[in-house]
Amino acid sequence: MLKVLVVDDEFIVRMGLISCIRWEEMDLELVGEASNGLEALEMIREHMPDIILLDLLMPGMTGMDLIQKLEEQNIRTNIIILSCHEDYSYVRDAFKKGVRDYILKLSSTPEEICSVLGDVAKKILAERASSQAAPALLEVPELDSLKAPKEMVSDEYYAITFYGASFTKEVRSLLLQLITQWLMKHPVSCLHPCLVNGSEPIILYTGFSKTSESEVLEHSLAESMEKLHRFLSSCMDVSILVGISSRCPCTMALNKALHESQKSMNALFYDNSGCIGIYSNLEKLYHNEDTRIGAAFYRNIGEIIRHQHFQSLTEQIAAYTLWVLKEKPDPRIVKLDTIDLINTLGNYLKEKKLTLADMAEEYLYFYQDIAQMRSFWELKSYLDSFIQTYMALLQSKGYKNIRNDVLAAANFIEEHYSDDISLSDVARYINISKNHLSYLFKKETGQTFSDYLIQYRIAKARTLLESGQNYTVSEIAELTGFHDTGYFSKVFKKATGLSPNQYKKGN
């Protein structure tokens, strides 16, 4: 039975979550609830929950502060973010820290909450079933207490990790045996092979002098690992990558060095032929700040997919791919751009009462899968497959590709909805007759031009009412192109069931 902790500063939210989760049916145990990060940290130390439902915005210690504390103290758990914001960029930083999923706590149904929680629980159990704490050749204590193995004769070390796309427990065990065998025949001073908590095999490299230059050490180490890699590749039919951490003081906990060796794989992200990644090389390769590089390419994705213009979608992605291959930006940013894109497409599916699971259950874990990808080609293949499956799903549900001229008309509406525009204005803009545009618009979108324009203006009006800004009803009517407050209120109530003022009070 997996243990769950609920952390949110709002009592009603905590009670709502606790009451809607089918605890016994899902084989879950509620070990407690906390109203802030400090309280939660104490409960986590006491109960060591498997899953934490965590609000990001809390007074005192925020959710992000708590995640940072858990990382610093090497407390490993599975976090599901509770967010009030539908904008995925708000929780992007949390995903960098290994967060499993997120729930929109004010709009998710009990079924959706249980579905997210159930998916994470299944993933945890599957990971546990496939792991095995194989005996280590070097006695290694728990990660949070490790300072330096006794065998280390230096006060510094490198961590070298061997990665594969799908290492089973049997493969890890065999790999460790082969590494040990090679080291016995090709002795390299102070190289210690081991497994830590059933993870990928690692080697700890020690015994070098403080005066040794890091660049010389790493070059020599890389040469030895290339020879070892050739030996392993000749013995095993699996793809193996090797990551080398920076030069770490023995006071640094091993898990931090392992994190560096894992991150060093980014050095091979665009190199299809490489097999050795060195952490210190990353600064030489990538200098991009954490900005939304993909925004320039994906800024219209929401409109493109809403209008079902599948050709434009593939063209935008192809343009981004070419740019990435030319500029070779930091892989971390490319992964985040891809996660943002898939999340945007997933939100559109929700509008159509569909989910990523309707495409394939594996896509529910897209953020984890993408975060773990070692090469751009792997990422590109995944994205291409996702887009093809995505378009096939929509087309199977009757959503077809929309013509360029109708897309241009829809874009004109979105740019000029606050103006006094008509069908004739749009027809002149795209240079076709008014009657022909009316026919095409209805045929392609299923709505008349007038209905589409009103619906779009109402959507913008709802956004303004939800913004928390002190707009009057007449100001909102003017900003959204109605220009007649009475008519606006009538149309708004017909569309939403509430008057503008009632809608505003409800938000």
Whether pLDDT at 153 is above 80: no
Vertex 312, ends 308 and 313: CA angle to 5°? 70
Q: Say if residue 196 is in the same domain as residue 83.
A: no
If you average pLDDT over residues 190-198, what whole number do you get?
A: 65
Q: Say if residue 162 is in the same domain as residue 256.
A: yes
Residue % of the chain over a pLDDT of 70: 83
The position carrying tokens 């060195």 is 278
In this structure, what is the dihedral angle of CA atoms 329, 333, 335, 338, given to the nearest 10 degrees? -100
Phi and psi, residue 29, nearest 5°: -125, 125
DSSP string for residues in 238-305: S--EEEE---EETTS-HHHHHHHHHHGGGGGTT-TT--EEEGGGHHHH----S--TTHHHHTTHHHHH
Q: Say if residue 370 is in the same domain as residue 457.
A: no
Helix (H), strand (E) at residue 2: strand 2-7
Token pair in block for residue 166: 């799908």
Supply the pLDDT for residue 166: 63
In a domain, 174, yes or no: yes
Token pair in block for residue 272: 């299809």
Structurally, how many domains does the chain consist of?
4
Supply the pLDDT for residue 324: 87
If you average pLDDT over residues 396-417, what whole number do you get?
A: 79
Supply the pLDDT for residue 43: 92
Calpha distance 129→47 (Å, rounded): 22
Q: Say if residue 389 is in the same domain as residue 408.
A: no
Supply the pLDDT for residue 4: 94
Highest mean pLDDT among 161-165, 209-213, 389-393: 389-393
If you average pLDDT over residues 29-44, what whole number do you get?
A: 91
Whether pLDDT at 319 is above 50: yes
If you average pLDDT over residues 317-332, what whole number do you get?
A: 85
Token pair in block for residue 47: 């109960």
In a domain, 136, yes or no: no
3-state secondary structure of 203: strand
Q: Say if residue 162 is in the same domain as residue 279.
A: yes
The model's pLDDT over 38-74, given as tens digits with 9 standing for 90+, comes to 999 999 988 999 999 988 878 878 888 888 888 777 7
Q: Do the Cβ atoms of 333 and 291 come closer than 8 Å? A: yes
Calpha distance 23→4 (Å, rounded): 10
Vertex 81, ends 78 and 83: CA angle to 5°? 175
Calpha distance 145→152 (Å, rounded): 16
In a domain, 226, yes or no: yes
User: CATH number of the domain that 448 lies in?
Assistant: 1.10.10.60
Q: Is 7 exposed, middle or buried (0-12, 13-18, 19+ CB in 10 A)?
A: buried
Q: Say if residue 175 is in the same domain as residue 268.
A: yes
Q: Say if residue 95 is in the same domain as residue 181.
A: no
Closest CA to 3 of 41, 48, 33, 38: 48
Sheet holding 101-104, edge to edge: 28-34, 2-7, 51-55, 78-83, 101-104
Highest mean pLDDT among 269-283, 321-335, 417-431: 417-431
Q: Do the Cβ atoms of 116 and 109 come closer than 8 Å? A: no
Closest CA to 256 of 348, 122, 144, 344: 144
Q: Say if residue 122 is in the same domain as residue 222.
A: no
- For the ranges 22-26, 424-428, 442-446, 447-451, the lowest mean pLDDT is seen at 442-446
In a domain, 426, yes or no: yes
Q: Say if residue 392 is in the same domain as residue 426.
A: no
Q: How many residues does the chain have?
A: 507
Residue % of the chain over a pLDDT of 90: 17
Calpha distance 130→420 (Å, rounded): 63
- For the ranges 5-19, 88-102, 483-497, the lowest mean pLDDT is seen at 88-102
Confidence of residue 476 (pLDDT cuts 50, 70, 90): very high
191 or 377: whose pLDDT is higher? 377
Q: Do the Cβ atoms of 34 and 60 come closer than 8 Å? A: no
Supply the pLDDT for residue 142: 36
If you average pLDDT over residues 264-270, what whole number do you get?
A: 88
In a domain, 142, yes or no: no
Q: Amino acid letter at 426?
A: V
Highest mean pLDDT among 61-75, 79-93, 177-191, 445-459: 445-459
In a domain, 149, yes or no: no
Q: Say if residue 274 is in the same domain as residue 316.
A: no
User: CATH number of the domain that 193 lies in?
Assistant: 3.30.70.270
* CB neighbourhood size of 258 (10 A): 20
If you average pLDDT over residues 378-384, what whole number do you get?
A: 91
Q: Mind spelling out the 3-state secondary structure of 296-336?
A: HHHCCHHHHHHCCCHHHHHHHHHHHHHHHHHHCCCHHHHHH
Choose the final residue of a domain: 285, 305, 324: 285
Confidence of residue 149 (pLDDT cuts 50, 70, 90): very low
443 or 154: whose pLDDT is higher? 443
In a domain, 146, yes or no: no
Residues 165, 171, 172, 175, CA torsion sign: negative
Whole-structure pTM value: 0.54
C-alpha distances out from residue 179 to 184, 232, 477, Å: 9, 8, 72
If you average pLDDT over residues 98-107, what whole number do you get?
A: 68
Q: Say if residue 248 is in the same domain as residue 301.
A: no
Domain span at residue 252? 156-285
In a domain, 281, yes or no: yes
Confidence of residue 87 (pLDDT cuts 50, 70, 90): very low
66 or 446: whose pLDDT is higher? 66
Whether pLDDT at 5 is above 90: yes
Helix (H), strand (E) at residue 157: strand 156-163
Supply the pLDDT for residue 299: 61
* CB neighbourhood size of 419 (10 A): 11
Q: Say if residue 301 is in the same domain as residue 266.
A: no
If you average pLDDT over residues 279-303, what whole number do you get?
A: 67
Supply the pLDDT for residue 148: 40
Helix (H), strand (E) at residue 82: strand 78-83
Alpha helices in 4-109 (DSSP H): 11-20, 37-47, 63-72, 92-96
Supply the pLDDT for residue 165: 64
Supply the pLDDT for residue 50: 92
The model's pLDDT over 219-230, given as tens digits with 9 standing for 90+, comes to 888 998 999 999
